[in-house]
Structure 1
């Protein structure tokens, strides 16, 4: 993402949270930031380019990383919206929706597991519930007739 605010050109790499990558992934992000800064300064003559690693959640109380800013959670959402409360305004409804969807998923998942178990038992178990391994091996490895 790229935008201008208060005469500063910001280039933003959005990540899920503060611990999103290993050291080589962070180095690659910094390299990408540096290339983008160089291109922007060459093409647009914009001298004030700031790179931002924006994290959708979490905290980092030392946002200045030297080569870039790391803005997490509320700091990031406020930075891109100028709304201090946006973080809670969007997260709370998402939480409710996620809970509703999770409950529906769990119910449907249970049905699928039950159907799979029934089909497996009918096809690959004897009347006492023991697995018929010969049928499993044949299903997996026997040549077609």
Structure 2
């Protein structure tokens, strides 16, 4: 039996709309806050020299593309899936540490604790151990309520296979289609999420591109002023000293 046999479609669509607004707003804010000193302190100047980059625009394009790629993945993972999962499941945002959703089913006297993760490659050994400790702590709430306890790690995209090795786990791991079907009772929900977005993403594209282009122009100017000689060539020694010197 899935955790939920029905869901409020309009609540899901609203959750997606809010999540997209948060995603683009946060991403644009980060791009608008970039400056070349902040960026180049974290970059490898030797790599750019090894790739024979000769212009400020080449380096800025590489830096900005990498920054956006890394930032958008993190921001999207943090803001998009959890509110949709809460809306789809009919559960409540959990107060327990490391748990995102709590679902109480009075008919079966069951409390389900769900940790929502983006993709299936988010854990290392230490973080997996902490997640298990969080599930154990949450199980005490179920014991106090004299309810049966279930724990899940839900990966919102991708696939996850159980290796079948080791001791039995106190939780289930579900990914992609299987996770969303467990939350909603709908085997096609994982595909419907795309449809529910409709044309909502398109209304943010212009603001995003404007922010990106402003950042590119700003960073090229700042790089040229800080790390280029009078003739326009890159002062590699100055760049390396800024990045790695005392």
* TM-score (normalised: structure 2): 0.44
1:72 is matched with: 175
- Give unpaired runs (5+ residues) of structure 1: 137-145
Output the CA distance in 1 between the equivalents of 2:235 and 2:172: 60
Give how far 1:83 is off. 1.4
Output the CA distance in 2 between the equivalents of 1:23 and 1:119: 42
1:13 is matched with: 115
SS in 2 for 1:60: coil
The Cα RMSD (Å) is 3.4
1:84 is matched with: 187
Output the CA distance in 2 between the equivalents of 1:63 and 1:80: 23
1:143 is matched with: none
Give how far 1:40 is off. 1.7
CA contact (8 A) 1:18 1:58 kept: yes
Output the CA distance in 1 between the equivalents of 2:223 and 2:129: 49
Larger CA Rg, structure 1 vs 2: 1
1:142 is matched with: none
Q: Given the alignment of the two structures, is residue 45 of structure 1 paired with residue 146 of structure 2, yes or no?
A: yes
Give how far 1:117 is off. 2.4
Give how far 1:17 is off. 1.2
Change (3 A) 1:132 1:52: closer
Q: Which runs of 4+ in 1 moved over 6 A?
A: none
- Give unpaired runs (5+ residues) of structure 2: 1-100, 240-246
Output the CA distance in 1 between the equivalents of 2:128 and 2:198: 29
Count of residues in correspondence between the two structures:
132
Structure 1 or 2: more strand by fraction: 1
Change (3 A) 1:102 1:55: farther
* TM-score (normalised: structure 1): 0.69
